Amino acid sequence: MRLTETADVWWKNAIVYCLDIETFFDTDGDGRGDIRGLSQRIDHLAELGVTCLWLMPFYPTPDRDDGYDITDFYGVDSRLGTHGDLVELITLAQDRGIRVIADLVVNHTSDQHPWFQSARSSRQSPYRDWYVWRDEPPADADQGIVFPDQETSLWQYDEQAGQYYLHQFYKHQPDLDIANPEVREEIMRIIGFWLQLGLSGFRVDAVPFLLETKGAVDAANLPDPHDYLRDLRAFMNRREGQAVLLGEVNLPYKDTRQFFGDEDGDELTMCFDFIGMQKLYLSLARSEPAELIKALRERPDPPEEAQWGTFVRNHDELTLDKLTDEERQEVFTAFGPDEDMQLYGRGLRRRLPPMLGNDLNRIKLVYSLLFSLPGTPVLFYGEEIGMGENLAAEGRNAVRTPMQWTRDANGGFSTADPDKLAGPVVEGDLSPEHVNVADQRRDPDSLLNWIKLLAQRYRECPELSWGKYTILEHESPSVFAQRSDYEGGTVIALHNFSDQPAEVTLAVSGTGVGVQVADLLTGKTTPIDNDGTLRHPVAPYGCCWLRVVHPGDRYIV
């Protein structure tokens, strides 16, 4: 395969950065970030090495669910800006080599959406069948509730409509009926509209719920919902051949694999690796990588041009729902022992630095893992500087605090009074006084500069995203050793999960006289014995990216 093909299939070695516009940078002093503010900070993302910007919802909304309750899928919330502002942002990003994708949230609408207002007004409304209605809720109405602290049923009685409607999430978010051909066609129009304005794809919210048809009365007679996902992918490819569908699918590996389209790879372009993320935290809690290794060995390979999306945390709770009760409690005990740090009994509403006691070496280890594991790394805004959470914020909003740019008031996010901000600023040891972009830009040992280095090396190493991946056996239980091979190039990554130093002895096949490894993170070189044996130390919470260099190789290391 030619190296230039990595540009055609750009998502396989992209660096994705997720942000909420309203908490990123405020230019008009109303306490809410805006699109123009993001445009002014686009060079921060370019310098970081970001190649794909993922925007959380910017559509008109009553804002009862942080923008995921949408009243107009074709609009831009006036508090954030205009269509013109958005097109300018996309233009600026593309000029810096950054593609832009956006949340596609079409499994439900706000109950204030004109479609639902019309649907509830009359059974003769043309939008009545766009939602799922019943005269009486089914017997299992209380099963599968996503937010058990807020809801007691998946069905809500509407006085005006005289029927119950289905809502997999909050009651103010009625589900669209994906079984309705008119709804399917409308979703394609929405995709086509935003592609025409310059988006390079979508992060698809709650994909299993989007395809859910069991609420429909004639569900047993409906076609396979995966056929619709194939139709969406085919439509998108016709409109924009290099566009991507990044899917939120939190299911066991076997089930998630189906959302790629199995071997055809004709459904989702990428799926988040929720299992690997959860096993990573279990491994961190135990100070050894065995559970992460087990998950990676069980993880199926994606189709040839598809990819897994790897992440340390996202904009929701840090879900641990695929761990056993005992394993989940281990992670709670290690990283979120207080009940206020936990959410829904299944996850944590914390960011990584406070969970790790703000131990910079350990934090750097985790992000080195993120960039070197097989898959496409996805960052949540603020991770690059080690932002913390504010547990005074409600629920998942604890990790959706304003971006910390400087030591100034409100972290340089906004000039508004603190009580008018889109969210409370982080306090304590991780407040803007101690953690901000401006200070870390000038500190060569900062987390920000570490992330920049990782991003640069990741992009220089197609082996990590395109190569054959092998987990290496050795004598140290605390060290995770992996090897990636691609078109004659080899990169070996070592990560020590323990606070004690370690040494590994590795059998490196395909080597001989004069072969050495060059650490891409430090520049140090280590010879490989003539028999192909590599002995290498790994510091406490240390990491190494080792490129195998043969005599005559022309790598720049």
Q: How far apart are the first and last CA of the chain?
A: 23
For residues 92 and 321, give the distance between their C-alpha atoms in angstroms, rounded to a whole number: 39
Q: What residue type is 485 in one-letter code?
A: D
Q: Which of 26, 205, 384, 485 is catalytic?
A: 205
Is 326 among the residues known to form the active site? no
β-strand 489-496 against 347-348: which pairing, if any? unpaired
> What's the Rg (C-alpha) of the chain?
24
> SS3 sequence, 242-292?
CCEEEECCCCCHHHHHHCCCHHHCCCCCEEECHHHHHHHHHHHHHCCCHHH
Q: What residue type is 208 in one-letter code?
A: P
Phi/psi of residue 262, nearest 5 degrees: 50, -135
Q: What residue type is 513 in one-letter code?
A: V
Label residue 538 left, alpha or beta by phi (over 0 means left) and psi (-120 to 50 means alpha): beta
**DSSP, res 424:** P
Residue 266 contacts residue 228 (beta carbons within 8 Å): no
CA 69 to chain centre: 20
101 contacts: CB under 8 Å, gap ≥ 6: 52, 53, 54, 55, 199, 200, 201, 202, 203, 244, 246
Half-sphere exposure of residue 270: CA atoms within 13 angstroms, side-chain side: 32
The helix/strand/coil state of 117 is helix
Alpha helices (H) in 10-162, listed in sequence order: 35-40, 42-48, 83-95, 114-121
For residues 504 and 478, give the distance between their C-alpha atoms in angstroms, rounded to a whole number: 10
Q: Which residues pair with 535 in a beta bridge?
A: 505
Q: Which of 22, 175, 212, 248 is catalytic?
A: 248
> SS3 sequence, 158-176?
ECCCCEEEECCCCCCCCEE
Smallest CA-to-CA distance from 208 within 185, 192, 194, 226 is with: 226
Smallest CA-to-CA distance from 521 within 454, 455, 461 is with: 454
Is 185 among the residues known to form the active site? no
Q: Which active-site residues does the annotation give? A: 205, 248
